[in-house]
Amino acid sequence: MLIKHRAGWELPESQATPEAAFLNRRSFLAGGAGLIAGSALPLGALAQGPDPTADLYPAKRNAAYTLDRPLTEEEDAANYNNFYEFGTSKDIVASSKRLVTRPWTIAIDGLVEKSLEIGFDDLVRKLPLEERLYRFRCVEAWSMAVPWTGIPLKAFVEFAKPLSGAKYIRFETFLNPRVAPGQSQRWYPWPYTEGLTIAEATNELPLLVTGIYGKPIPTQHGAPIRLIVPWKYGFKSVKSITKISFVAERPKTFWEGLQSSEYGFWANVNPQVHHPRWSQASEQVLGTRDRKPTLLFNGYGEQVADLYKGLEGEKLFM
Ligand SMILES: Nc1nc2c(c(=O)[nH]1)N[C@H]1C(S)=C(S)[C@@H](COP(=O)(O)O)O[C@H]1N2
Ligand SMILES: [Mo]
């Protein structure tokens, strides 16, 4: 990495996906160590008590979204995470349990009919929840395929009632350096922010995800609510959201703020447009020995290619 604070996932493809890290995990879990880790209840979870939304899971699966590959094993997805608030390694499960996710308030503001703050447990019961199987492709050239449960973002946008001047939607993660040690690292532009155009946000695919593998989402995956945008690189899928704003100008995102020459606003997956420091042609499938060719728009071109007509002058694939 050319900037002084090299990000863990910003490694050349060959190093970004150290095979041993994937291959050993399951055999490790099959042995004794995983059992100990699994039975040690995290303090955060004990303090918070049972999940008040547990009755919503598993949600009905929407059969329209099918995969071309097997699902990733739950424990593989749940133990290889990017969540910089809790450290730059992939091993942030324990650290992330410090995040207290109840009560959890989400502010909806900017160019909307009425700004409001709403408790997560209220919001999740006001809007439709469904399960979908999606591919997920990190910019680092690893991928997974998981069952997410979430609210179609389109339904959330209708609920929020944006004004006609709203052209973009901006998402913000919590900010609390006492809980999230990474946020004491001042060179990062905290809080983590991301954005979509309104046209992207009202496409059928993006989900405000609240669950995974038929259960409420655990903290390392971005509890209690995170975005999933399956045709874009994973960094667009912002975790643990506390604010959603409707704005007129294109928001500057976290990774753009850090390294705009490598990470842009659009970040659509494209195997032919290489990252300045590594190829995006193929991907390491998490939990396996497979490398698969990467698909344009991560295989979702039929649903999203039209969004980019007339925008050919933009850097759509970084
Ligand atoms: N707030 C926040 N959201 C985030 C990140 C992060 O560091 N902080 N990392 C992003 C990146 S780079 C990826 S690949 C995905 C990883 O999601 P997962 O750990 O649930 O697989 O989360 C994205 N959302
Ligand atoms: Mo990523």
Q: What is the pTM of this model?
A: 0.88
Q: How large is the angle between the packed helices 32-39 and 19-30, nearest 10 degrees?
A: 80
Residue 275 DSSP symbol: B
From 83, 85, 142, 236, give the residue whose CB has the most ligand 1 atoms within 8 Å, as the site to mutate: 83
First CA to last CA distance, the chain:
16
pLDDT at position 36: 36
Which of 235, 240, 253 best tests ligand 1's pocket when mutated (most atoms within 8 Å of CB)? Answer: 235
Residue 166 is predicted with a pLDDT of: 98
Angle at CA 267, nearest 5°, toward 262 and 269? 115
Q: Going from the N-terminus, what domains does the chain have, and what CATH number goes with each?
A: 67-306 (3.90.420.10)
Q: How far is the CA of 50 from the centre of ligand 2 (A)?
A: 30
- Asked if 218 and 211 count as a contact pair (C-beta separation under 8 A), the reply is no
Rounded to an integer, what distance in angstroms lies between the CA atom of residue 160 and that of residue 144?
31
Distances (CA, A) of 58 to 43, 131, 148, 221: 25, 8, 10, 17
Q: Which ligand is nearest to the CA of 16?
A: 2
Please give the Cα distance from 163 to 283 (Å, whole number).
Answer: 40
Pocket of ligand 1 (CB under 6 A): 9, 81-85, 138, 173, 192, 221-222, 234-235, 237-240
| pLDDT per residue rounded down to tens, the chain (318 residues) | 233 344 444 443 344 433 223 333 333 333 333 333 434 444 555 567 899 999 999 999 999 999 999 999 999 999 999 999 999 999 999 999 999 999 999 999 999 999 999 999 999 999 999 999 999 999 999 999 999 999 999 999 999 999 999 999 999 999 999 999 999 999 999 999 999 999 999 999 999 999 999 999 999 999 999 999 999 999 999 999 999 999 999 999 999 999 999 999 999 999 999 999 999 999 999 999 999 999 999 999 999 999 999 999 999 999
Distance 194 CA to ligand 1 centre (A): 11
From 11, 17, 82, 259, give the residue whose CB has the most ligand 1 atoms within 8 Å, as the site to mutate.
82
pLDDT of the residue at 40: 44
Q: What is the pLDDT of residue 45?
A: 52
CA separation for the pair 243, 290 (Å, rounded)? 38
Phi, psi of 154 (to 5 degrees): -55, -40
Query: Residue with the nearest Cα to atom 6 of ligand 1?
Result: 83
Q: What is the pLDDT of residue 46?
A: 53
Residue with CA closest to ligand 1 atom 21: 81
Q: Could you identify the atom of ligand 1 that is nearest to the CA of residue 192?
A: 1
Q: What does the alpha-carbon distance between residue 124 and residue 59 come to, in Å, rounded to a whole number?
A: 12
Query: 216 C-alpha to center of ligand 2: Å?
Result: 22
CB 48 within 8 A of CB 300: no
Q: How far is the CA of 8 from the centre of ligand 2 (A)?
A: 10
Ligand 2: centre distance to CA 34 (Å): 25
| Alpha carbon nearest to ligand 1 atom 5, residue | 83
Residue 212 alpha carbon, nearest atom of ligand 1: 20
Per-residue pLDDT, 10: 43
